[in-house]
């Protein structure tokens, strides 16, 4: 740790070097004039708990958690918010008096992204289709149900996993297949890692009604092929960078005790992505 003063936090993952969180939090810290540090922390696949304990011992205030440790993060915590328990995962750990507390701000980030880039969208107005059945899809489904969405349709390459998720969550969450899953929806959200893994995502977006908002959690590039396809059909789009910044805001508040300043971190992140 280079800066021995102030409040320390960071993001833990494997790999973590591509994370934009140090850039975002670092810019906020500087603009707010807070003495502190936000570090990228690499943990080996089986070294998550040991690394978290080491950071507690070093005096860290907390950590954001990214792939592949979000489930382990919740398991490690002594206390957790309902939204983290419902999502079955934590992206935010805070340490007070040596105790680990888990939260999940990905749902907040998702809804903030819609509010910012598609303010006309209303959660309660129509069903929403989520592509994917992993951790991100689960978190999104929980946040949408909390926001009053009447039906959440899970569509996944491996259909059985969509069924398992729908059964686990129950309520307004259902598993669906085919074009039917895209008819009459108010939004479609890509929560798969297809783009990240270089795969093509097949989804009949032409079956969605006009005005349906299309969102992609993937943010490299910011305008993904999926979003470009949606724009070609005239659909309004919401990008994953907006969600990333949206989840970072409550994390910053939790670590540093104040909301982040009004700094244009989006432009900084886009410049950094262009540089890579």
The residue assigned the tokens 């919740």 is 74
Q: How far is the CB of 20 from ligand NDP (least distance, A)?
A: 9
Separation CA 101–CA 94 (nearest Å): 5
CA angle, residues 243, 268, 187, in degrees to nearest 5? 20
To the query of whether residue 55 is one of the catalytic residues in this protein, the response is no
Separation CA 42–CA 57 (nearest Å): 17
Task: Report the residue number whose CB is nearest to ligand NDP.
Answer: 134
CB of 76 or CB of 124, closer to ligand NDP: 76
Separation CA 61–CA 9 (nearest Å): 6
Q: How far is the CB of 66 from ligand NDP (least distance, A)?
A: 8
Separation CA 212–CA 173 (nearest Å): 19
CB of 81 or CB of 150, closer to ligand NDP: 81
Terminal CA-CA length for the chain: 25
Length of the chain: 276
CB of 185 or CB of 248, closer to ligand NDP: 248
For residue 214, the surrounding DSSP H or E stretch is strand 213-216
Q: How far is the CB of 217 from ligand NDP (least distance, A)?
A: 4
3-state secondary structure of 261: coil
Q: Of residues 30, 70, 161, 249, which has the active-site annotation?
A: 70
Q: How far is the CB of 106 from ligand NDP (least distance, A)?
A: 5
CB of 36 or CB of 195, closer to ligand NDP: 195
Binding site for ligand NDP (CB under 6 A): 67, 106, 109, 132-137, 156-158, 161, 191-194, 196-197, 199, 201, 217-219, 240, 243-244, 247
Query: Active-site residue numbers?
Result: 70
């Amino acid at each position: 740790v280079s800066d021995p003063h102030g409040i320390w936090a960071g993001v833990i993952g494997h790999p973590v070097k591509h994370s934009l969180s140090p850039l975002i939090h670092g810019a906020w810290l500087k603009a707010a004039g807070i003495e502190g540090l936000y570090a990228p922390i690499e943990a080996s696949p089986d070294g998550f708990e040991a690394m978290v304990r080491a950071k507690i011992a070093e005096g860290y205030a907390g950590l954001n958690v990214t792939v592949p440790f979000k489930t382990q993060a919740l398991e490690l915590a002594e206390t957790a918010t309902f939204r983290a328990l419902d999502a079955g995962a934590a992206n935010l750990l805070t340490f007070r008096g040596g105790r680990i507390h888990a939260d999940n701000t990905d749902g907040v980030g998702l809804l903030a992204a819609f509010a910012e880039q598609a303010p006309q969208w209303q959660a309660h107005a129509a069903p929403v289709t989520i592509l994917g059945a992993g951790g991100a899809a689960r978190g999104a489904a929980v946040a949408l149900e909390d926001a009053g969405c009447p039906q959440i349709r899970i569509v996944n390459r491996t259909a059985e996993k969509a069924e398992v998720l729908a059964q686990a969550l129950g309520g307004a969450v259902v598993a669906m297949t085919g074009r039917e899953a895209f008819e009459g929806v108010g939004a479609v959200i890509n929560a798969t890692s297809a783009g990240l893994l270089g795969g093509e995502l097949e989804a009949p977006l032409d079956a969605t009604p006009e005005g349906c908002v299309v969102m992609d959690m993937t943010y490299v590039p910011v305008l993904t092929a999926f979003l470009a396809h949606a724009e070609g059909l005239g659909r309004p789009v919401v990008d994953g960078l907006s969600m990333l910044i949206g989840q970072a805001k409550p994390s910053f508040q939790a670590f540093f005790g104040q909301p982040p300043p009004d700094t244009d971190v989006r432009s900084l992140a886009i410049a950094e992505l262009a540089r890579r």
